[in-house]
Structure 1
Amino acid sequence: MSNRRTMAEQLADWAHDVRWEDLSEEAMQALKGRMLDSIGCAIGALEGKPVKTIRRMTKDLGGEPLVTLIGGGKTTPDYATLYNGAAVRYLDFNDSYLAKNETGHPSDNIAPVLASAEYADADGRDFLLALALAYQVQCRLSDVAPVRDHGFDHTVQGEYGAAVGAARAMGLNSSQIANAAAIAGTGYNSLRVTRTGELSNWKGLAYPNTAMGAVHAAMLAKYGITGPREVFEGNKGFMDTIAGEFELDWSNENLERVTETIIKRFNAEIHSQSSIEGLLELRDREQIKPEDIKEIRLTTFDVAYNIIGGGEEGGKKLIRYKEEADHSLPYMLAAAYLDGQVMPEQYEPERIKQDDIQQLLQKVDVKPSEEYSDRFPDEMACKIKLETNDGHIFTVEKNDYQGFKTQPAGWDVLMEKYNGLTAKIDSDLAARIADTVKNLENVKISELTELLGQVKIREAE
């Protein structure tokens, strides 16, 4: 065996050695903000059909009651990761990170790191530091090793982040962290078909499944199972088979990438946010009746066009259910114009099927712009032209939106979103959860998970 430290081992050495003092105040506050946002998303999703289905499956399978499920009950760390992760992800309302050729949702790492931290009886600082590592690993790999154009899903970079974060939260040593990353990195390379063509429940479950595998990999490593040391650079490893050659010196990494993640203002795919905000501004300004609209023409950047605008990942005008609707610019813009918002209720089955929204989405035309594409990901530039039946054209242009890195969402903005998402649970409990998150560096992680286990959705009156 070679004595040379492989990339996975260098990654593990760095992840093992970072300390609380390495986390800046700005990064810590950003992590707590992402926690609040994601917990709100999870609570708001507990009535979602796939989430309830996984809850039923988890209950049927049982498992040692070691880790808390949001909404009550306990199970094994890996099963808890799947369920809690599904809840965080289902609404498609959690944060995003924009690299030039890859977009991911790093808060998908919260479920595996939270489960691992509770399992290890960690404190809030241990949890936040492990979560910062997970964010950094996923985001930096997205920067230098994008996989979307090779036919793989953004969960591929996430498998390394989730495994490293989970292993650090469990208090594993450097060798065990390397094995966790190697096992997860070898075993969970998901296909991009998850998000192309006809969409399915798997769109919201691919990362929770990867994260469950990452926690399982960390557990295997904890018990002494080894993985391929050369998972990155080895013969038929990650570089050779998927990403191509790249360089990343983990010893020089910081923990700041979380500060460059962005929050969704609207319950819509991330690349739609500026166009939705722009159309709502035009709607409020001009007060044009929906029946007077001849066409809504959106010019946007290539990533938005290809993923949600009808480009290379498939047409976006046959909309039958939530997974198709929240990845369709025509649907989301039609919903925004008709309802004045894009929130979870815009994806209720009865709303999707109504004639007004089905007719208006057919009038939305999306095209890419080379200029706007060159400005991404530093901007989310777009231009909307709304033409009325009598030939008048009204225009709005946007470069960003509230929640983008140029207009970061502060705690007050996040609390407003959180309060909306948690409106169906006891308000005192919701406030206690938010206060605990705000003070997370000073409490045991079990104080937070105990509160999350008390969540109950009130029945409609």
Structure 2
Amino acid sequence: MSNEKTMVEQLGEWAHNADWNNLSEQAKEALKRRVLDSIGVAIGALHGEPVQNIRRMTADLGGKGLVTLIGGGKTTPDYATFFNGAAVRYLDFNDAYLAREETGHPSDNIAPVLAAAEYADADGRDFLLALAIAYQVQCRLSDVAPVRKHGFDHTVQGAYGAATGAARAMGLSWNQIANAITIAGTGYHSLRVTRTGELSNYKGLAYPNTAKGAVHATMLAKYGITGPREVFEGNKGLMDAITGEFAIDWKKENLERVTDTIIKRFNAEIHSQSSIEGLLELRDREYIEPENIKAIRLNTFDVAYNIIGGGEEGGKKRIRYKEEADHSLPYMLAAAYLDGQIMPEQYKPGRIKRNDVQELLQKVDVTPNAAYSRRFPGEMACRIELETKDGRIFKIEKSDYQGFTTHPASWDVLMEKYNGLTQGIDSELTQEIADTIRNLEHVKVRELTELLGQIKTREDDA
């Protein structure tokens, strides 16, 4: 065995040596905002059928009550990660990171890092630092080692991020952190079919399942199990099998990538945000009765076109249920125009099936624009034309939206979103949760998770 540290061992050493004091104030604030945003999204998703199904499965499987479930109950760290992660992800309303050839949702790491931190009885500062590490790993791998073009899902990079963050939150040694990463990284290479063609419940569960595996890998490493040291650069490792050559000098990495992530204003796939905001601005400015609309034409960047506009990942005009609706630009634009918003209620079965939205979405045409594509990911540029049946044409152009890196969402803006998503639970409890997150670096993690365990929701009507 070589004495020279492999890439994953260098990563483990960097994660182990990371220091809270190396985080900028901007990064600390960004982390807390993303925890608030994701917890609000998770609370708003507790009524979702897949989330309820996973709660029943978790109850049936049992397991020692070590870690808190959002909405009450306790289970093992890995099963808590899966349930809480499913709640964070189900509405498809959490944050995103835009690399040139990869888009992921780094707040998916909150569930595994929170479970590991609660299990280790860590304080809020340890949790936030470990979360910053998870963000950094996933985002940097997305920058230099994209996998979508090779037919794999962005959860591939997530396995490395979730394991690194969870292992650091659990207080493991650098060598144990490296082993956790290797086990998770070797075991979780999900196919991109998760998000192409006919979509299923698993679209929202792929990352929670990967994160569950990452926490399990962390537990294995804690108990002395080793993984392949050359998971990145070795024979049939990540580079050889999927990504090709890449390099990251972990010693030179900071903890600031969280500040480059963006938050969703609308409950819609991330690449749709600027176009939805633009169409709503056009609607408010001109308001044309829906029955008088002949066509809505969206010219946008290639990633949006390919993923949600009818490009390489399949047609987007046959919409029957939530998973198809929230990954269809025609549906989201049609629903936004008709209802003046895109929130969880726009994905209820009754709303999706109504004739008004089904008819209007057929009038939405999406095309890619090479100039806009070159401006991505620094911008989310688009142009919208609305043509009426009597031949009038109204236009609007956008380069970003409220929540993008150029127009970040403040704590107060996020509180509006949070309060809207948590209307179904006790208002005093929601405020106490928000206040605890606001001061998270000064409290124990269990102070937050105990509050999350007190949440009770009313049954939501479909």
TM bin, normalised by shorter chain, reads over 0.9
How far apart, in 1, do the equivalents of 2:169 and 2:337 lie? 44
Listed as ranges, the matches of 1:19-58 within 5 Å are 19-58=19-58
Which SS does the other structure have where 2:84 is aligned?
Answer: helix
Counterparts of 2:460 and 2:172, CA distance in 1: 45
Cα displacement (A) at 1:445: 0.1
**Alpha-carbon distance, 1:125 to partner:** 0.5
Matching of residues 406-445 of structure 1 within 5 Å: 406-445=406-445
Matches within 5 A, 1:55-70: 55-70=55-70
1:132-184 deviation per Cα after TM superposition (whole angstroms, max 9, x unaligned): 00000000000000000000000000000000000000000000000000000
- Residues in 1 aligned to 2:392 and 2:169: alpha-carbon distance in whole angstroms: 58
CA distance in 1, matches of 2:247, 2:165: 21
Matched letter for residue 377 of structure 2 = P
Q: Distance in 2 between matches of 1:459 and 1:214?
A: 32
Shift of 1:458: 3.1
Give 1:460 deviation, angstroms: 6.6
For 2:234, the aligned partner's letter is G
For residue 24 of structure 1, report the CA deviation from its aligned partner.
1.1
Misfit runs of 4+, over 4 Å: none
* Distance apart, 1:287 and its partner CA: 1.1
What letter corresponds to residue 34 of structure 1 in structure 2? R
Normalised by the length of structure 1, the TM-score is 1.00
Q: Secondary structure at the match of 1:31?
A: helix
Deviations, residues 272-306 of structure 1 (Å, cap 9, x unaligned): 00000000000000010000000000000000000
Letter of the structure 2 residue corresponding to residue 115 of structure 1: A
Instruction: Please name the residue that 1:324 is paired with.
Output: 324
CA distance in 2, matches of 1:458, 1:229: 49
Aligned to 2:99: 99
Q: Which residue of 1 aligns with 2:451?
A: 451
Where do 1:33-432 residues align within 5 Å? 33-432=33-432
Deviation at 1:23, TM superposition (A): 1.1
- Structure 2, unmatched stretches of 5+, are none
Question: What SS does the corresponding residue of 2:199 show, helix, strand or coil?
Answer: coil
- The 2-side partners of 1:153 and 1:459 are apart by 33
**1:330: how far off?**
0.1
TM-score, L = length of structure 2: 0.99
Q: For 1:28 and 1:207, how far apart are their aligned partners in 2?
A: 24
Q: Distance between the aligned counterparts of 1:306 and 1:6, measured in 2?
A: 36
Q: How far, CA to CA, are the matches of 2:460 and 2:186 in structure 1? A: 46
Distance 2:391 2:287 in 1: 16
Displacement after TM superposition at 1:340 (Å)? 0.2
Matched letter for residue 55 of structure 1: R
Do the aligned residues in 1 keep the contact of 2:47 with 2:459 (CA within 8 Å)?
Answer: no
Can you list the C-alpha shifts for 1:198-255, whole angstroms capped at 9, x where unaligned? 0000000000000000000000000000000000000000000011100100010000
Q: Secondary structure at the match of 2:266?
A: coil
Give aligned pairs, total: 461
Residues in 2 aligned to 1:168 and 1:62: alpha-carbon distance in whole angstroms: 26
Q: Residue type of the partner of 1:11?
A: L
TM-superposed deviation, 1:459: 4.8
**Structure 1 gap segments, 5+ residues each:** none
Distance in 1, matches of 2:203 and 2:458, equals 28
SS in structure 2 of the partner of residue 352 of structure 1: helix
CA deviation digits over 1:305-347, x for unaligned, max 9? 0000000000000000000000000000000000000000000
Report deviation, 1:19: 1.0
